[in-house]
Amino acid sequence: MYKLHDLVLDLAITISKESKCAFSVEEAFKKGTTRVLMVKNSIGNGDVHVMASNRAYSASRLRTSSFSQNKSIQNIPATLLRGARVLRILDLSRTSISSLPACVENLKLLRFLNLSETNITKVPKCVRSNKSLRFLDLSNCSGLERLPNWSGELNCLEHLEHLDIGGFRGFMPKEISKLVSLWVLRTYELGPNIYKLSAEDNEFLKLEHFGNLVNLREVRIDIDHEAELKILDDGILANLVKMRILTIENNVECDNPPPLSEKMIAMKDLEFIYLRNFAMPNWIYVFSNMMKLCLFEIHSAEYPALQMMPNLRSLELLQNKNCKALPGGFWKPGGFPQLCFFHISMFDQLEELSEKEEGAMPRLQRLHVRFCASLNRVPVGLELLKSLKACSFGATEVDHLFKEGGELWNKMKASNPNFIYEEFLSKVLEVGIVKYRINVF
């Protein structure tokens, strides 16, 4: 489900006038056999109850129903969904509901259920008895206190492909590892101090259980204990050969960040990887399908062979205390053939970016170098980046070089007339942006 721009929504309404789609309570009354119901934010909780009690309304052919982002809606009357036996999509995200009506258990064809950012306190029973469900979003439900163990009921969820419980800080049941059809598993962390529990307490999901989820395409793993580092080193991720998007954050304090197991090379289809606080893997360039790479707190003096990644489009290097110069290979002809976005931030010792040569980064559009206090000059040959649309360096020693009318400014404009220099506005703002980007990953 996606949020539509008002212009697109108005266009959709116009196109759907002759179909069985309704975008307001009034339209739902007129089109008693509505198939798609997307209620605007202006609808209140009382309006929903009036709609449900109106004899002109019928849910018998309703396939899609969305009340998303309408905080005034506190509950969904049973009569609104009663009889909606062919409903496939139910989106109640960002509403103020705290429970679902019992009749939802009868929605046997429901495939998509979004309850993110609602006030629910427990997982609805209907979730555990629906064999058609493919997508379940329970993220950022602050009142959600625990997850059911689903013991003996997981056969009903054997086809679930997307499970989002991001923001839930309690323990996750071990039975989640039996959801072998999962493509996406989004979580905050496995649970506080889970490896400090007694050996007999074996009912919670741990990192070693992830090896069973062989169909995973996307997962985030937070490493909070040394035991988990050992499990990673043993190659638990080698089973996840279908992985596309992988985030691994190491929160264990250590003087020398650990390396990643080379067995990860089995993930040949990886397209995006975010690593935090690991030693730089010298084999990471082998991921030929990689499109986006973010390396945070990788305190290596070098970043070997990244320029050899043929499909890399976005590269972010964040927070490094040891790197004084980026590899010369970054700027050699043929390096980063598809790279469009390059961001470097918080490199305390970075002094130079090396000389840019003709043919390197031929598609680069945006270059951002920020919080690099030791950097006092831009790379020679920057004007050779003919596709560059914008850049920023976030250092007063460099900013003045891009003043309009200056020599470097004239060179950049001659190479690309649409080029703009984005001046560094505020360190406070930048820290906020960096923190947000990290949280998104």
Find where tokens 């993110």 sit: 116
Specify the pLDDT at position 244.
95
pLDDT of residue 229: 85
- Concatenated DSSP letters for 320-373? ESS--B--GGGGSTTSSTT--EEEEEEETT--B-----TTSSTT--EEEEES-T
Q: What is the pLDDT of residue 428?
A: 38
pLDDT of residue 439: 33
Task: Identify the CA nearest to 74 among candidates 50, 95, 91, 57.
Answer: 95
Averaged pLDDT in 10-residue chunks for the chain of 441 residues: 52 52 49 57 66 72 84 86 87 91 88 93 82 92 80 76 86 84 81 51 77 91 84 84 92 83 91 93 91 92 89 95 86 92 91 84 92 81 88 73 80 85 55 36 28
Report the C-alpha gap between 9 and 40 in whole angstroms: 10
- What pLDDT score does 152 carry? 65
Q: Where are the beta strands (DSSP E) in 178-327?
A: 184-186, 218-223, 245-250, 272-276, 292-296, 314-320
Query: Which has the closest alpha carbon to 69: 7, 3, 25?
Result: 3
Closest CA to 306 of 322, 297, 319, 293: 293
Please tell me the predicted confidence (pLDDT) of residue 202. Answer: 63
Residue whose token pair is 């506005």: 425
pTM over 0.85: no
Encoded tokens for 131: 């064999």
What is the C-alpha separation between 281 and 290, in angstroms, rounded?
Answer: 15
Model pLDDT, residue 429: 40
Per-residue model confidence (pLDDT) at position 414: 86
Could you tell me which of 112, 125, 37, 115 has the C-alpha nearest to residue 81?
A: 37
Where do we find the tokens 């119901």? 37
Contacts of 270 (CB under 8 A, 6+ apart): 243, 244, 245, 246, 287, 289, 290
